[in-house]
A and B are shown apart, each in its own frame.
Chain A
Amino acid sequence: MAIQERRIIYKHVDEPGYTADIDCYLRNGGYEVLKKALQAKPEDLCKEVFDSGLTGRGGAGFPTGMKWKFLDRKSGKPIYLVCNADESEPGTFKDRQIIYQDPHQLIEGMAISAYAIQAKQAFIYIRGEFINGARILETAIEEARAKGFIGEDICGSGYSCDIVVHRGAGAYICGEETGLIESLEGKRGYPRIKPPYFPAVLGLYQCPTIVNNVETLSQVKHIIEMGGTEFAKIGVKGDTGTHIFGVSGHVQRPGYYEIEAGSATFGELLYDLCGGPLPGRKFKALIPGGSSTKILRFGERFTGKHPNTGEPFDWGVEDIPLDAISLRACGTFLGTGGSIVMDDSTDMMEVIANLMAFYGHESCGQCTPCREGSLWLNKMTTRMTCGHARPEDVDLMKNIADQIEGRTICAHGEAVAWPVQSHYNKFKDEYLDKIAHQGDGRGRYNPNGYPLI
C-alpha cells in the first residue's frame, strides 16, 4: 500500500482497549502537555500556535494563530473560548469520533488553548442530536475537574478555567461561529454581520471570544507537545498538520482516515485506503470537503500553476493532493474533509435535490437571498426529480445560485450556491439529457428515494 495514514488526532481512535475515561487517557500520557503548557507564558503558547501554521478545521480554514492574535485583550472584558462541536455538514463526521472515543484529548486541548488566550470560561457547543456525545463530554469534564485539570487552580498553577457543555437545538446555522454565539447567548441562531465586529473583538456577551472547532482545539495539544515549528514541518506550505478525511458514499471501505496534508492524492485515498469503487462501478463524482464544497467530476482535468511551487499541473481528480492549497487550485475546497464519493449509478439531479432539501431546510431565514433562494432551489430541484423539469430550469437554477453567492451575511449562501454552480458546470449535459428523456422512463419519478448522502 503506497499510502499510509499519519494518525495524530486519531491516534487512539478505534484502538482496541482504549476507552473514553480519564484513567485510560492518563495511562497514555494524557494531560502531560497541559502541565507543561501551564509552566509556559500564555503569549509563548499563542506564538507556538501561530508558528505552527494551523488552520481551522471547521471548514473555513482560517489560520488559528491569526484568529487568536485578533483577540481584543485591551478591553478588560473577560475572554471566552468556545469549542464548536456543532458538526452538522452532510458528509462530515470527524469531530464526533474525537468526542466519542477520545474526549479528554479535546478537553486537554481546550484547557491549553484557554490558558493561552487567558480565558476563564470555556464552552463546548455541541449539536443537539449528539446526546451521547454531550453525556460523554460532561462525564469527561467531571473527571478532569476531579483531577484538577480544569476548574479552580488547574494543576496548582493558579490558573482557573471551567468548561461547560451546551447543547444546541439542532440547527445547521448554529455551527457558524456568530450564529453559535447568538444561540449560546440564548437567542435565535442568526449569524451576526461582520464586519464591523468579529468575535475576537465582540463575541459572546459582547466580550472577546475565540471559537474553534473540535479538531482544531485538539490539534493545539499536539502543537504544544511538539512545538509550533516542528508541527509546521508536517504538511505543506499554507496547510500544515494532518487532515481527517471522512469518506462516505460509493467506496468499498468508507470511514475516517487521518493523512498528512499533501502527502497523498485523492486517488490514493480512494483506491488504496478506501478500496476503490464498489464492484462493477466507476467513480463519477466527488464532493471533497463536506456537502457545501464544489463537486469534482472524475474525468475532468485541472490545470494551472500550483500556488506553492509555481509548477504547472495537469491533474485528474485522482491526482489532486490532499491539501487545502491544491484543492483550492482546482476550484474547490478542502472544507471539513468530509469526502462524499459517487459512482456511475448516481443520478446527479437527485444529488442536487437532496442537497437543496438539506440547505433549504437549514437556512435560518435571516438574509433574503438565502432564505428565499434556498427554498426556491429546493422546490425546483424536487420538481425536476419528479419528472417535471423544463430545459430552462438548468440555467435558472444556476442563475438563482449566482444571485445568492456572496450576497448573504454568512457562508450558508455559498453552501447553497456552490453545489448548484458546480453541478451546473460539470453535469449540465447530464441534466439536459435527463430532461430530454423524461418521457421515456429515464426521467425517474423518485421523490422519496433513498437519500444518497
Chain B
Amino acid sequence: MSENGQPKLVTINIDGKDFEVPDGMNLVDACESVGVEVPHYCYHPHLSVSGNCRMCLVEMGMPMRDRATGEPIMDDDTGKQKIGWMPKPAIACASKATPGVHIKTQSDLTKSCREGVMEFLLVNHPLDCPICDQAGECRLQEFATDYGRGFSRYVEEKNVKPKRTVLGPRVTLDDERCILCSRCVRFCSEIDKNPVLGFTERGSHNTLTCYPGTQLDSNYSLNTVDICPVGALTSTDFRFKMRVWFLKPTKSICTESSAGVNTEVWSREGKLYRVTPRRNDEVNDTWMTDSGRMLYKLVEAEDRMQRFRIDGQVASLGNAVLRARELIQLGSVAYVASGHLSVEEQAMFGKLVAKEPGSVTFVSHAEEGDGRLITNDRTPNVRGGLVTGLINELPVAQLDQLRAQLEAGEVATIVSYGEDLVAAGIPADLLKKANVVYLGTHRNATTDLARVLLPTLTVFEKTGTFINQQFRLQKFYQAVPGPAGLMPDVFVLDALLAECAGGAPCRPTLGQIWEHLNETVDILKDVNFSKIPETGLLLDGSAYADLPFCEGPGWHYEPKAELAAATANL
C-alpha cells in the first residue's frame, strides 16, 4: 500500500500489452481485473493457494538482469529489457503481480496446458451434464467448452466413484464428479476452523470424505457447495429442485444479524429456491451461514400473515388502516419497533411518530454470536434506527418500562412493528388492557391479541436499505412479489400516515423517501439512493461510537478502524 492508503500500481505485461495492476495482486485476479480470463478451479481469492488443478498454467517471464552486476540486459532489436521466459509453464494462482512480469495467456504452450488439464479432468468425470445438479453453474462444463479439446481420446474404463454420499445434514457429495480441487477442504480448515474434510486414497482414486466419526455439520457447511467448481458438492435442500439457468438472482442482504451479509436470492416465477452469498470483501468475503440461507423458507411459512384483519376478521387495507388510526388517535400511544425494519420503513415510521407522538422503543435481539457472520445483534438495522433518529438509545431486551406504563394504565394503544410484545416481556393478560396495532409478517403471541393486523412483506419481497454493524449502508432488492393483496411496508405506513393526517395516500417511491432522508438526516444528506454502490456505502458513524453496541469483534467488525476510514473519506 502506498502512503495514501491506495494500492501501489505496478506495470505487468499480459499477452504483449502493458497493464497497471495493484502490486502483489494474485495474477489470476490481476488478469481478471483487466479483462483477461485465466481459467482456474482450485484458486479462490479467500482461500490459501493450493495450486493443484493446474488449469491456470501460463507462460511467465521476468525482465532479465545481469547476475553479477544487477544491470538490466537489454534487447538490441527492441531497445527494451530482455525477458527471461521460464522453461516450464507456471501457475498464475501462485504468482503475484510484480513490476515487469510478463505472462502469455494465449500462447500455444498455454493453450496446450489448458487443453491437457481439461482432458485429464474429464477422463474420469461423468459426461452427463444434463443430469447433473450443477449444470449451468459448472466451471468444468464452461471451461471444457472454452478450452477443451472437444472430443475424448479416452477409451479405458472410467474410474467410477460413489454417488449421493451424505457429508452432513445439508451437504451431499456426488463423488464421481469431484475434481479434487480441495477448495472445500481448505474452507473447512482455514475459514470454518472445522477441519472435518480430507482426501483418502491416492491418485485417481482420491476420494473426498469426512474424518471418521465426524460430519460436515457446521453452520457454514453450505459454503463448500458454493465454492465447488463442479457438480460434486450439492445443497441437499436445493438439490435437483430447479435448473439454475431458470432462476433469477436478486441482490439482497441477509437479515440474520447486523453483519449485513451480502446475498443473492434465487427465484423463479415468484417462488424462492435458494439464497447464496454475494462477494463483498469488506463485509462477508464470499461466505454466509447455512441458517441465513434458510430464512427464505419464512416466505411460505404456515404462520405467514396474509390478510388485513380487524379484531380477527378479514378486512380491507382501508378499513384496517382506518381502525388503526382510530386506535392511535385515542392518545397515549406507544410505539415498539426493531432493527428488522429497513431504513426507509424506519423513516416512514418516524413520520408517523412525529404525527402522532408517543414513546418509541426498539426491542433488542441480542444473542450470543459466533464471532463470524452471526453477530450478537440478530437484527440487520439497529443503526438505521439511530441514524434516522427513530431512536436515540440502544434497543432494550425487555419492555419493562412499557409494562409498567401498561400496569399504571398510562398506555391506550401500542403500535408494534414486527415485535412480539409477549416475548418482549409483556404478559398476555396485561397486553389485553391495551389496543394493539400490529404490523408484521408472521403470527405470534401478540398477533393473537392485536385489534388490528397489518401484514407486511419479508425482505425478499421489497426493496430498501439496511445499515450494518460497520455503519455500511447496503441495498436489498425485491426478489419475488409478496402475497396477493399485500403491499410494501412503506405503502402501509403511508396509508396509515395519510389516514392520521387526513390526506390521501401518495404511495411514495423510495426515491421520495430518500429525498426526505437527505433533508432531515445530516449523515445521509449527500447520499443518492440510486447511486449507493452494490458493495455498500460506509457512513460516518462516529457520532455513535460511544454507544455500547452488543456486537463483539468478528469478521470485518473493526469499528474504530472503519470509523476512522469513514471519517477520512468524508
A369 within 8 Å of B (CB atoms): yes
Q: Whole-angstrom distance from the CB of A414 to the nearest CB of chain B?
A: 10
- The answer on a CB contact under 8 Å between A376 and B123 is yes
Interface pick from A104-112, A188-196, A424-432:
A188-196
- The answer on a CB contact under 8 Å between A372 and B156 is no
Interface pick from B52-60, B161-169, B316-324:
B52-60
Q: Whole-angstrom distance from the CB of A197 to the nearest CB of chain B?
A: 10
Give 5 new A-B contacts, CB below 8 A, not counting A365-B180, A371-B120, A406-B87. A364-B202, A365-B205, A366-B50, A375-B124, A375-B205
- The answer on a CB contact under 8 Å between B88 and A372 is no
Q: Whose C-beta in chain A lies nearest to the C-beta of B41?
A: A368
Interface residues of B (CB under 8 A from A): 49-55, 57, 87-89, 91, 94, 112-113, 115-117, 119-121, 123-124, 153-154, 156-157, 159, 179-180, 198-199, 201-206
- The answer on a CB contact under 8 Å between A407 and B123 is no
Q: Scan residues 386-424 of chain A and give those whose CB is less than 8 A from a CB of chain B.
A: 396, 402-404, 406-409
Q: Which residues of B contact A396 (CB under 8 A)?
A: 153
Q: Which residues of A contact B117 (CB under 8 A)?
A: 368-369, 403, 407
Point out the residue from B87, B113, B157, B198 that lies within 8 Å of A407, measured CB to CB: B113
- The answer on a CB contact under 8 Å between A403 and B116 is yes
A318 within 8 Å of B (CB atoms): no
- The answer on a CB contact under 8 Å between A373 and B120 is yes
- The answer on a CB contact under 8 Å between B204 and A362 is no
Interface residues of A (CB under 8 A from B): 171, 188, 193, 195-196, 360-376, 379-380, 383, 396, 402-404, 406-409
CA distance A171 to B199 in the complex (A): 15
A interface secondary structure, majority: helix
| Known pairs A195-B94, A368-B121, A376-B156; A406 contacts B203 (CB<8 A) | no
- The answer on a CB contact under 8 Å between B112 and A188 is no
| Known pairs A193-B49, A407-B89; A371 contacts B156 (CB<8 A) | no
Q: Which residues of B contact A402 (CB under 8 A)?
A: 116
Point out the residue from B89, B94, B113, B124 that lies within 8 Å of A372, measured CB to CB: B124
CA distance A364 to B57 in the complex (A): 20
CA distance A367 to B180 in the complex (A): 9
23 A-B pairs with CB atoms under 8 Å apart are A193-B49, A360-B203, A360-B204, A366-B50, A366-B52, A367-B53, A368-B52, A368-B54, A369-B116, A369-B120, A372-B120, A372-B124, A375-B203, A379-B157, A396-B153, A402-B116, A403-B112, A403-B113, A403-B117, A403-B119, A406-B87, A406-B89, A407-B116
CA distance A406 to B88 in the complex (A): 6
- The answer on a CB contact under 8 Å between A362 and B202 is yes
- The answer on a CB contact under 8 Å between A403 and B120 is yes
Q: Whose C-beta in chain A lies nearest to the C-beta of B121?
A: A368
Q: Which residues of A contact B124 (CB under 8 A)?
A: 372, 375
- The answer on a CB contact under 8 Å between A193 and B203 is no
CA distance A408 to B117 in the complex (A): 11
CA distance A407 to B51 in the complex (A): 11
CA distance A360 to B206 in the complex (A): 12
Q: Whose C-beta in chain B lies nearest to the C-beta of A380?
A: B156
CA distance A127 to B536 in the complex (A): 56
Q: Whole-angstrom distance from the CB of B514 to the nearest CB of chain A?
A: 48
Q: Whose C-beta in chain B lies nearest to the C-beta of A364?
A: B202
- The answer on a CB contact under 8 Å between B199 and A365 is yes
Q: Whole-angstrom distance from the CB of B498 to the nearest CB of chain A?
A: 65
Q: Interface centre among B55, B91, B94, B156, by most A CB within 10 Å?
A: B156
Q: Whole-angstrom distance from the CB of B548 to the nearest CB of chain A?
A: 40
- The answer on a CB contact under 8 Å between B203 and A363 is yes
Q: Whole-angstrom distance from the CB of B359 to the nearest CB of chain A?
A: 58
Q: Whole-angstrom distance from the CB of A411 to the nearest CB of chain B?
A: 11
CA distance A374 to B198 in the complex (A): 22
CA distance A402 to B108 in the complex (A): 14
Q: Which residues of B contact A370 (CB under 8 A)?
A: 203
CA distance A188 to B180 in the complex (A): 14
Q: Which residues of A contact B53 (CB under 8 A)?
A: 367-368
- The answer on a CB contact under 8 Å between B120 and A363 is no
Q: Whose C-beta in chain B lies nearest to the C-beta of A190?
A: B52
CA distance A383 to B154 in the complex (A): 12
| Known pairs A367-B52, A407-B57; A374 contacts B203 (CB<8 A) | yes
Q: Which residues of A contact B57 (CB under 8 A)?
A: 407
- The answer on a CB contact under 8 Å between A409 and B203 is no
Q: Whose C-beta in chain A lies nearest to the C-beta of B179?
A: A368
| Known pairs A188-B199, A193-B49, A409-B51; A375 contacts B159 (CB<8 A) | yes
Q: Whole-angstrom distance from the CB of A396 to the nearest CB of chain B?
A: 6
Q: Whose C-beta in chain A lies nearest to the C-beta of B94?
A: A193
CA distance A375 to B158 in the complex (A): 10
- The answer on a CB contact under 8 Å between A367 and B54 is yes
- The answer on a CB contact under 8 Å between A363 and B49 is no
CA distance A405 to B54 in the complex (A): 12
Q: Whole-angstrom distance from the CB of A365 to the nearest CB of chain B?
A: 4
CA distance A372 to B154 in the complex (A): 11
Q: Which residues of B contact A380 (CB under 8 A)?
A: 156
CA distance A171 to B206 in the complex (A): 14
- The answer on a CB contact under 8 Å between A409 and B52 is yes
Q: Which residues of A contact B112 (CB under 8 A)?
A: 403
- The answer on a CB contact under 8 Å between B55 and A371 is no
Q: Which residues of B contact A361 (CB under 8 A)?
A: 202-203
CA distance A403 to B110 in the complex (A): 11
Q: Which residues of A contact B54 (CB under 8 A)?
A: 367-369, 407-408
Point out the residue from A188, A365, A366, A368 that lies within 8 Å of B55, measured CB to CB: A368
Give me the 10 closest cross-chain CB pairs, A-B, nearest first. A403-B116, A372-B120, A375-B204, A365-B206, A363-B203, A379-B156, A406-B88, A193-B51, A365-B203, A366-B52
Q: Whole-angstrom distance from the CB of A217 to the nearest CB of chain B?
A: 29
Q: Interface centre among B117, B204, B205, by most A CB within 10 Å?
A: B204
Q: Which residues of A contact B179 (CB under 8 A)?
A: 368
Q: Whole-angstrom distance from the CB of A203 to the nearest CB of chain B?
A: 17
- The answer on a CB contact under 8 Å between A365 and B123 is no
Q: Whole-angstrom distance from the CB of B185 to the nearest CB of chain A?
A: 10
Q: Whole-angstrom distance from the CB of B202 to the nearest CB of chain A?
A: 5
| Known pairs A369-B116, A407-B89, A407-B113; A364 contacts B94 (CB<8 A) | no
- The answer on a CB contact under 8 Å between A363 and B204 is yes
| Known pairs A383-B156, A406-B89; A371 contacts B51 (CB<8 A) | no
Q: Which residues of A contact B87 (CB under 8 A)?
A: 406
- The answer on a CB contact under 8 Å between B123 and A193 is no
CA distance A188 to B201 in the complex (A): 10
- The answer on a CB contact under 8 Å between A368 and B120 is yes
CA distance A408 to B57 in the complex (A): 10
- The answer on a CB contact under 8 Å between A371 and B206 is yes
Q: Which residues of A contact B94 (CB under 8 A)?
A: 193, 195-196
| Known pairs A193-B51, A368-B121; A363 contacts B202 (CB<8 A) | yes
Q: Which residues of A contact B120 (CB under 8 A)?
A: 368-369, 371-373, 376, 403
Q: Whose C-beta in chain A lies nearest to the C-beta of B51?
A: A193
Q: Whose C-beta in chain A lies nearest to the C-beta of B198?
A: A188
